[in-house]
């Protein structure tokens, strides 16, 4: 007689690969953040310089290519972490650890989505956006994902890959160039190393740290079970995690005055930005004073409000 566990796996596999499974495999909700931040970077550049023919098609191609690349990265990430996901309750129901999708099929899906996204950006948008998408994929899959089982510093590396999508949106606005110009400069570095692009990168990089610290501490037992080495794994009291969240939240405060000082927003931007930053600092202090799951959740949900509110204020008070 077939074992119960084997029967259960067979039953799950027989259910087929559903639309919900595809959403889980590509981490569609997380990829929605990529769409939002890419759009913000694109619209900021368009609002400041009003490039001709920048919308709507170039915007659509930028969002499509970036989203496809993010989908592909998510598939490969889950393929690489399939065994670890099977050991954690919050991820055991994903298509790969639950055996609803063969690893070979997932590899094909991931390769198709990633290649399609990067090539689409290169053909329909420009070299800079395609190069950044490819760089993000490399950092996410070949540095961040393996590092999660080796060093707690993986969070910093993951924050780098997560901070690039708005910069992709920023560099996409001017579109491509005639082939003769590539002999002089393959990548337009002036698009990458300007105040606006650096601010967008810094905003996303710093925002991710208190955001993921809160998640890490809440689910630290799960991360330990999965074999991931995270900052909060040995922090049973929560105080170390809270101190780190407070430090990163304090470092976010200068973001409130960077855009008006650099001249790409009015000074009105500083008011809501300082209020939002102060809110995160206050919740981090509260987490330090009362280091429990409730305080960590409040900080986590506050970060979910902070980012879209900051991006909305940035676009609303852009100097046109």
Do residues 263 and 306 both lie within one domain?
A: yes
DSSP H or E run through 145:
helix 145-147
Do residues 60 and 152 both lie within one domain?
A: yes
Give the mean model confidence (pLDDT) for residues 28-40.
92
The 3-state DSSP class for residue 265 equals strand
pLDDT in tens, 135-181: 999 999 999 999 999 999 999 999 999 999 999 999 999 988 755 56
Given 193, 214, 229, the domain boundary residue is 193
Distance CA 316, CA 320 (A): 10
Distance CA 198, CA 231 (A): 26
Given 193, 221, 245, the domain boundary residue is 193
Given 193, 218, 244, the domain boundary residue is 193
Instruction: Report how many domains make up the chain.
Output: 2
Kindly tell me the burial class for residue 274, based on how many C-beta atoms sit within 10 Å of its own C-beta (0-12, 13-18, 19 or more): middle
pLDDT in tens, 186-233: 778 888 999 999 999 999 999 999 999 999 999 999 999 999 999 999
Distance CA 150, CA 121 (A): 33
pLDDT in tens, 255-285: 999 999 999 999 999 999 999 999 999 999 9
Per the domain annotation, does 270 fall within a domain? yes
Do residues 180 and 216 both lie within one domain?
A: no
Confidence of residue 11 (pLDDT cuts 50, 70, 90): very low
Distance CA 205, CA 198 (A): 10
Give me the domain span that covers residue 236: 194-320
The CA radius of gyration of the chain, in Å to the nearest whole number, is 21
- Respond yes or no on whether the N-terminal peptide bond of residue 56 is cis (omega within 30° of 0): yes
How much is the pLDDT for 86?
92
Q: Which of 1-5, 7-11, 195-199 has the highest mean pLDDT?
A: 195-199
How much is the pLDDT for 186?
75
Q: Which residues of 292-316 are buried (b: 16+ CB within 10 A; e: fewer)?
A: eeebbeebbebbeebbeebbebbbe
């Amino acid at each position: 007689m077939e074992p119960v566990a084997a029967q259960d796996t067979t039953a799950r596999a027989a259910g087929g690969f559903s639309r919900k499974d595809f959403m889980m495999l590509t981490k569609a909700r997380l990829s929605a953040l990529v769409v939002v931040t890419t759009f913000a970077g694109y619209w900021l550049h368009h609002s400041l310089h009003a490039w001709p023919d920048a919308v709507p098609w170039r915007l659509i191609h930028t969002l499509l290519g970036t989203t496809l690349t993010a989908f592909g990265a998510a598939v490969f990430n889950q393929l690489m972490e399939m065994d670890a996901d099977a050991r954690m309750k919050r991820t055991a129901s994903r298509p790969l650890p639950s055996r609803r999708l063969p690893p070979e099929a997932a590899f094909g899906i991931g390769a198709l989505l990633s290649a399609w996204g990067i090539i689409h950006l290169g053909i329909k948008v420009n070299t800079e956006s395609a190069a950044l998408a490819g760089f993000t994929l490399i950092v996410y899959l070949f540095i961040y994902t393996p590092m999660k089982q080796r060093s707690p510093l993986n969070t910093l590396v993951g924050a780098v890959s997560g901070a690039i999508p708005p910069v992709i949106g920023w560099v996409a606005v001017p579109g491509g160039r005639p082939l003769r110009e590539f002999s002089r400069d393959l990548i337009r570095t002036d698009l990458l190393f300007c105040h606006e692009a650096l601010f967008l990168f810094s905003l996303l990089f710093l925002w991710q740290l208190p955001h993921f610290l809160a998640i890490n501490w809440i689910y630290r037992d799960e991360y330990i079970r999965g074999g991931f080495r995270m900052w909060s794994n040995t922090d049973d009291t929560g105080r170390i995690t809270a101190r780190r969240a407070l430090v990163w939240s304090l470092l976010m405060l200068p973001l409130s005055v960077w855009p008006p000082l650099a001249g790409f927003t009015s000074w009105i931007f500083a008011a809501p930005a300082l209020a939002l930053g102060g809110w995160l600092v206050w919740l981090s202090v509260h987490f330090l004073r009362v280091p429990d799951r409730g305080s960590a959740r409040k900080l986590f949900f506050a970060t979910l409000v902070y980012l879209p509110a900051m991006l909305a204020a940035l676009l609303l008070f852009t100097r046109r």
